[in-house]
Every structure is written in C-alpha cells, then in structure tokens.
Amino acid sequence: MPKAVFSIWWDNILGPMVGRAYPEDEELKGEEALVIFMGHGVNQEAQLGYTKMKRGLVVSYLETPNCIAVLLDDDDDPLVVERNLERLVSEINFNAEDWDNEIKHAYERLKELLQDTRGKELLSDSGIQRMVKDMVDGRLTEIKPKHVMRGIIKYPEAADYLGQDVEEVTRKLKDLDNEGIIVPKTFGRRIECTQCGSSEINVNLLCPKCDSSDLHKVYSAYCPQCKAQFHTVIADDLLEVLCQHCKTPIKVDELAVMDVEPLCNKCGAASDEPKISLSCNVCGKRLKGIDLLGGTGLAYYPRHLSD
C-alpha cells in the first residue's frame, strides 16, 4: 500500500506550496514539491505525473493549481495506483476548509480502491461477473476499441456490462488485465502525443505555399434559381449568401456545395490540396511521425486455460 498522500498547490508568485500530508509524519519539502510539479511538464500540461525521489516513486494528479501526490511503497504497482488515483480525485473536495480530514480521507479511500480493484473484490462486481462469464462461455469473444472524435477510446461491448463512463470502463479492463483475467492484444494504431500522452488532436489546414493557417474556404455552390454555379466565402454566423449571377439569396442550410478550395489570406494562394498539420489539443505540440505511429490500440480477449 502507498506510504503517504500529499496535497500541494502552485502559486503564480510564490511557486510550489506544501499543504497537508497523511500520515502526518511523512512531510514533504518545498524542493520536493517543485520536482513533483516538474513531473507534469514545463508548462504543467500533463495531468498525470511520475517523480523518482530518494524516498520512493511518486505518482501525482494535477488539477491546476492543485495537485495530489502519492508516495508509493516498493511493492506497489504504479499503473494500478495511477488508475485508482484517477478514481479518487473525483471524490476530493479541493475547496475543503478542513484539509487535515480531507487528506486523511483521501489516503484511506485510496487504500479501499486499491483493495476493491484486485482479485476477489474485483470479481464481486456484478457487471464484471457477467462480462467474464460471457467471455468464458463464448458469447463475448473479444472487446475491441472504437476510436472516436477527440482521441477518446471506447469499448462498446464492455460498456454494456460495466457502464457508460468511458474512462472507468477502460480502467476496469486494465484492472482485469492486471489480475490475469483477460488478455490484451495489439489492435491497430492510435495517435498519442509523446510530450504529454494525450490523444486529443486538433486538425489544422495550412497554406501549401507559405504555411499560414489564416485560410478562408471558397465554396463552389449551385444556385437552385438560375441553375448556375458560383463561388462564395461562408464566414461564421452567416444565414444566407447571394448568387453572383441572379442575386437570389440562398439560405446556408439549403446551399448545395459542389467543391471547396482554401484561399490563403496571407499570400493569396488558392489550392484544393492544403497542408494538413496535427497538433495536440492539450499541450499544443505539433505532432510528428513518432506521435502518429507510436501509439498502439489494445483489444481484450478471454484468457484460456492454455494461456
């Protein structure tokens, strides 16, 4: 079980501030708090952080400006602690007036969560029982990931058993993997930022001539009144456009678009093949090949007796 839990926070003027600790004899120094914050990146862009200190490994969760840090014992599994720390933070009142009790509750609750997500306690969950039974009986042969917008990974088959909380379903599957109940195998690729670990991606269009992102979209549209094609730029909050030939107003939601071509506001170049750039939605890093190819998706399968 973890040795201690600490509360620290970041002051924009004074820097890292040390709050409470439980057990109370496990005090944290200011320089140690600074190192923990550094584990979340230079700009504190990563929500989860790992810090190796002389007294042991620290896993921390940052909800700016607050941070909860867990000092692990030598035999603790960092990934198991990480998953349960994510579960714990939703129960912590970061605005609590009595932090002595709040940090004590956090420590005791983390111990409960670590116990509940292992072995027999894990299998006491009715949803997990049904899912494992269906996998053993062959009614559920595999649990495949489904990649959706903003890099979120869903497991629809598992959600039928474990609930609709996407992150909690993924954590429970990892718990079952950790206990040797199901088997993970690679399944496709996923984009993953190597700087902060996020899979939330922004797609950016750039001018192929000057790399500017200041682009207008020029639409080739069809006029239902005079049957002619015309070009128009559709800005935000626009209700209708005028046909360049017959001057008939056409509602935007009724516009028949035949083609679209980005026009660069910086150099004036028009091209139907703009550069496509991907950036991390969390830390802003412009993604490279390693970010696009380094991630591996996981599907889960029943463990057979021969495994």
CATH code, 54? 3.30.450
What is the C-alpha to C-alpha distance for residues 258 and 273, in angstroms, rounded to an integer?
Answer: 16
Task: Identify the DSSP state of 15.
Answer: E
* pLDDT one-digit tens code per residue, 14-72: 888 988 999 988 888 889 999 999 888 877 778 888 999 988 999 999 988 999 999 99
Domain range enclosing 68: 4-116
CATH code, 170? 1.10.10
Q: Are residues 39 and 91 in the same domain?
A: yes
What is the C-alpha to C-alpha distance for residues 175 and 144, in angstroms, rounded to an integer?
Answer: 16
Q: Are residues 12 and 45 in the same domain?
A: yes
Q: Which of 158, 147, 163, 167 is nearest to 302 (CA)?
A: 158
Q: At what angle do helices 166-178 and 126-136 cross, to 10 degrees?
A: 60
What percentage of the chain exceeds 70 in pLDDT? Answer: 94
Q: Are residues 24 and 108 in the same domain?
A: yes
What is the C-alpha to C-alpha distance for residues 236 and 60, in angstroms, rounded to an integer?
Answer: 41
Q: Last residue of some domain: 99, 116, 133?
A: 116
Q: Are residues 83 and 154 in the same domain?
A: no
262 and 215 Cβ atoms separated by less than 8 Å: yes
Q: Kindly list the distances between the CA atom of residue 248 and the CA atoms of 56, 259, 285, in Å, as whole numbers in the listed order.
A: 72, 20, 45
Q: Last residue of some domain: 68, 92, 116?
A: 116
| Burial of residue 90, with CB atoms counted within 10 A of its CB: 0-12 exposed, 13-18 middle, 19 or more buried | exposed
**What is the residue-wise DSSP string for 181-213?**
SEEEEEEEEE---TTT----EEEEEE-TTT---
Name the pLDDT band for 237 (thresholds 50, 70, 90): low
**What is the residue-wise DSSP string for 223-272?**
-TTT--EEEEE--TT--EEE-TTT--EEEGGG-EEEEEEEEETTT--B-S
Q: Are residues 50 and 152 in the same domain?
A: no
Q: How many domains does the chain have?
A: 3
Q: Are residues 8 and 111 in the same domain?
A: yes
Name the pLDDT band for 187 (thresholds 50, 70, 90): confident
Q: Are residues 169 and 220 in the same domain?
A: no
283 domain residue, yes or no: no
Q: Last residue of some domain: 58, 85, 116?
A: 116
> Does the pTM exceed 0.85?
no
**Within 13 Å of residue 131, how many CA atoms lie on the same side as its CB?**
28
What is the C-alpha to C-alpha distance for residues 82 and 103, in angstroms, rounded to an integer?
Answer: 17
Check whether 151 has a pLDDT greater than 70.
no
Give the distance from CA 173 to its chain's centroid: 17
